[in-house]
Structure formats: C-alpha cells, structure tokens
Chain A
Amino acid sequence: MSEIMSDPLDRSQIELLVSLDDGEGAALQEIVDEYLTMSEESGVELLRVLQEGDADAVERAAHTLKGASANVGANALVDVCAGIEAHARQGELQGAAELTEQFEAELSRARSALQTVASRP
C-alpha cells in the first residue's frame, strides 16, 4: 500500500531542474520532454534484449536508462535499473528477468508522474 502511494519522483531533483530555469521553464521542460522520448525507446529496447538473452546489451540499456532516470529524479526506477544492470554484468539474466515486472511498473509510474510535471503551466 505504502509503495503504491509513495512518490516515484525525488522532488529535490525536480526542484533542481526548476532552479536551472532561466525564467521560461526551458530547462525542466526540455529535460523532461527528452526523458519521456528516450525512456520509451530505452524501455522497449531493454525488454527486447532481455528476451533475446544478450547480457551485454541488457547491461548497456539498463545503464543508459539508469543515468537518464537519475537526472529526472526517478529514483525507484534508478534502483530497478541498477539491479538489472548488476545482474546482467554478472551474466545472470534470470535475475534480471525477475525484475521485469517491477521495471515496467516503475517506468510507467515515473513517466506518468513526469507527464504531470511537464504539463504544469
């Protein structure tokens, strides 16, 4: 229950992005927009290479998504990506695959929370 209710975004990171704005909301808007685009692609990519059993590609995709997610404060998603990346680095694709469900849930939560942030006037 508490997990569902918890905020998927680290608000201090969002505040940091707001603080970088030059008064026109450009930085926050740009970064969130960029993230929404790239996370969709990276999410699909990660699931695909996981299915294919390509450990190196899984590690790279998880790493990329982890870094970008950290930039927008999607910390729960960062943790899941880090877990998948660590498993893939060890060649344990089974362990990585077990995180798939959690990954999809956190990705979806982060994206919808960010869509709210981005659409705010």
Chain B
Amino acid sequence: MRILIADDDPTSRLLLRAMVSKLGHECIVAEEGASAWDLLASGGIDVLLTDWMMPGVDGPELCRRVREGTGDSYVYIVLTTGLDRPERVLEGMSAGADDYLIKPVDSFAVQTRLIAAERVTELHGTLSQTQAELERANTELLEQSLTDGLTALGNRRRMEEDLIRTHARALRIGRSYGLALFDVDHFKLYNDHYGHVAGDETLRHVASCIDFVVRAGECAYRYGGEEFLLLLPDLRPSDSVAAIGERIRQTVMDAAIPHVARPTLPPLVTLSGGVARWAPGSPLSVMELVEEADGALFQAKSAGRNCIREADSCLHDRVEPSTVGG
C-alpha cells in the first residue's frame, strides 16, 4: 500500500516511516496538515497515518477534508494521539478516522492497523469496480430495452418516447417534423415461399437499407412485423418528406432482393410508404399524424405498391409555407 504519514514531530515521522517501510509498504511523509492535504488531493494514497496536533490543518480537519473529497478510492485513516486525551479519539473518529493509535506507537499496533486497512481499501476498490460494472450493464440493458432484437433499429418503445418528445419540442420551438411509414410489399407471400428464416434475413436487409439513407438526427424504428417508421425531427420548409421516402424505396429496390412469389413485377422485395408532415399551427396530435401516414400508406398499397404517397398534411404545409417557422 501507499502510506502517507503526517506529523510535525520529526522523530515520530522517522519512527513511523521505519515501521511502515519494514512492513513492505511505500511511504511518503508530510511535516504538516496543509502539505498532507496537497498529497492526498493528488490521489493514489491508500492509508493516512496522521497526528492529531499539527500547526495549520490539524488531524481532525484533515479527516474531514478526506471524507468530503470526491475521490473514487477510499483512504483508510489512522489517527495517532496521546493516551491522556480520550475525547480526542472520539472527535477524530467522528471526523472520519477509521482507527487510532496511542503514542508512542509500537510496531505491532501499526502492523495490525495496516492489515485492517488493506482489507478495507481492497473492499472499497472491489465495491467501486462492481458499481462501475453495474452502471455499464444498466446502460447496456437500457439500450437493449429500446432496440429491436432482429433489426437493431429502435423498437416500438423507443419510437413512442421519441415521437412524444419530438412533438413536444416542435410545439415549443415552432419547428416542423415528418413521419414516413413503410411496409414490405407482399411479405406474407415472401415468408410462405422462402421460409421465416429468410424472411427475418430480408427484414434485416431492408432495415439496413433504411438505416443507410437515414441522416444524423433522424431515426428509424421497427414499427411491428414488416412495418418501419422513419422520424424526421427537424424539417426545413424546403425539405420534402416524400423525397426522403422515395429515396428509401429506391434504395430497397436497388438492393435487388429476389421475391419471385409476388403476383406483380418487379420480382424483387419492394416497399410501399406513406408520409406525413406536422407544421406549427397544425391541430394534429402525434398519434393522429401517425394515422395520417398510415392512411397514405394504404393509398400507396391501393395504387399498386412500390410507391410513396403523401398525406393531406404534406400538401397543406406546402400550400402555406409562410406558416412554417424558422
């Protein structure tokens, strides 16, 4: 262990240093409280052996400072004091000391204290390590709880949280946002023909196509089954949700994933999409906007699939661009 001795009496410093060194520990010394505190603040000290009475910063004050400090490692404190002042032992222990030694100290007493110190500092080390691991695991679990296991896109829960937050923010700062809802065309026929394992693989492939097109700040989610949702939280008046939807549709078609079981051409996996736009002044709630996108998606399906349709909210927004903030 690395041990700091704080004592204004040179003979006490030499005596303690000799004892501690003989026990195989690394030893540094301070002649008064203030310099001891400087050494403690720079870290790396396991044990503090401090005298009670020192000019300036005394033993109890040093104890208090160590305990108030935000250092992540534990400093085991042993206070050295005379036999004639038991009330000082109590004050020192209350100030944060772990144990005390009566002066003049003897080797055996020092040795026993350092055994306890080693155990306690090790325990604290393990504890803070375990805590750090738990925090990491918690962060990972939280991330997992918001991620779709198959596609690694955001899951339904993350989507709902993000939609609510985006809508609230758009209301507050007067910005537009957009939604695009996609559905893989004839996916039931795909599964029937290629099997569910291949179906899962294709969903992953489509998800990666969507993720590829997504820009910073935008987010894609697996809405459920073979449906995906794209959230565009910050739309400028010139941004077209339909154009972004169209780019995703094209990207999936360019991936050229065979789908020979579908009744219409091309014999590839394709997407239909419905897009909607919320602009300041719109009376729609975020869930109503999702329904709008869903309605547009239905129109795309009805129009023969492999295409993008816009909800009325998009048209309305473009007719009156002056209502858009920014």
**Contacts between chains A and B (CB distance < 8 A), count:** 56
Does any Cβ of B come within 8 Å of A44's Cβ?
no
A72 to B9, CA, bound (A): 12
Q: In the complex where A13-B104, A19-B107 touch, is A34 in contact with B22 (Cβ < 8 A)?
A: no
Q: Which residues of B contact A68 (CB under 8 A)?
A: 9-12
**Once the chains bind, are B18 and A27 in contact (CB under 8 Å)?**
yes
Q: Which residues of A contact B288 (CB under 8 A)?
A: none
Question: Closest CB-CB distance, A118 to chain B, in whole Å?
Answer: 13
User: What 0/1 readout, one digit per residue, does chain A (1-45) give for beta carbons within 8 Å of chain B?
Assistant: 000000000000100110110100011001100110010000000
Q: Which of B1-51 contact A (CB under 8 A)?
A: 8-12, 14-15, 18-19, 21-22
Does any Cβ of A come within 8 Å of B84's Cβ?
yes
Question: Closest CB-CB distance, A52 to chain B, in whole Å?
Answer: 19
Does any Cβ of B come within 8 Å of A63's Cβ?
yes
Q: Which residues of A contact B122 (CB under 8 A)?
A: none
Question: Closest CB-CB distance, B298 to chain A, in whole Å?
Answer: 89
**Once the chains bind, are A71 and B107 in contact (CB under 8 Å)?**
no
Does any Cβ of A come within 8 Å of B53's Cβ?
yes
Contact of B9 among A20, A22, A64 (CB under 8 A): A64
Question: Closest CB-CB distance, B11 to chain A, in whole Å?
Answer: 4
Contact of B15 among A31, A38, A82 (CB under 8 A): A31
Residue of chain A at shortest CB distance from B102: A70
Q: Which residues of A contact B (CB under 8 A)?
A: 13, 16-17, 19-20, 22, 26-27, 30-31, 34-35, 38, 60, 63-64, 66-68, 70-72, 82, 86
A-B contacts, 26 of them at CB < 8 A, read: A16-B107, A19-B107, A20-B15, A20-B18, A20-B19, A20-B107, A22-B22, A27-B18, A30-B14, A31-B11, A31-B15, A31-B18, A38-B10, A63-B53, A64-B8, A64-B9, A66-B82, A67-B12, A67-B104, A68-B9, A68-B11, A68-B12, A70-B103, A71-B9, A71-B103, A71-B104
Kindly list the 9 A-B residue pairs having the minimum CB-CB distance in the complex, ordered from nearest: A70-B104, A27-B18, A20-B18, A71-B11, A68-B11, A34-B10, A31-B14, A35-B11, A71-B104
Q: Which residues of B contact A (CB under 8 A)?
A: 8-12, 14-15, 18-19, 21-22, 53, 82, 84, 103-104, 106-107
